[in-house]
């Protein structure tokens, strides 16, 4: 009986996930360029890395902006020759 219960819980999870995904389908945003399915799936695969990288980048930007107030930097900031 345990096996059957496990199977039905598994099935329940599967349905739940699919239902969630179905509800999450965004409004038809038709990018007329071909985004390349590979690139989209890739972003899904690296989402966790992106989150960490983004936080790190935000921190670096904060630090740079803090010091940039004392310099005359153009948009690129880091590469303005002294």
Question: What is the DSSP-derived secondary structure letter of residue 25?
Answer: P
In whole angstroms, the minimum distance from the beta carbon of 9 to other proteins comes to 23
Counting contacts by CB under 8 A, is residue 4 touching other proteins? Answer: no
Counting contacts by CB under 8 A, is residue 42 touching other proteins? Answer: yes
Question: HSE-up of 81 (CA within 13 Å, CB side)?
Answer: 0
Among residues 26, 66, 69, 70, which is the contact residue for other proteins, using CB under 8 A? 26
* Range 41-48, long-range pairs (CB < 8 A, 24+ positions): none
Question: Residues interacting with other proteins, by CB under 8 A?
Answer: 21, 24-33, 35-51, 53-58, 60-61, 74-81
């Amino acid at each position: 009986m345990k096996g059957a219960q496990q199977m039905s819980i598994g099935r329940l999870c599967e349905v739940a996930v699919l239902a969630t995904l179905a509800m999450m389908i965004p409004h038809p945003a038709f990018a007329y360029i071909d985004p390349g399915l590979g690139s989209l799936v890739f972003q899904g695969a690296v989402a966790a890395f992106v989150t960490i990288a983004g936080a790190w980048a935000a921190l670096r930007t904060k630090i740079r902006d803090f010091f940039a107030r004392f310099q005359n930097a153009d948009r690129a900031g880091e590469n303005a020759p002294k």
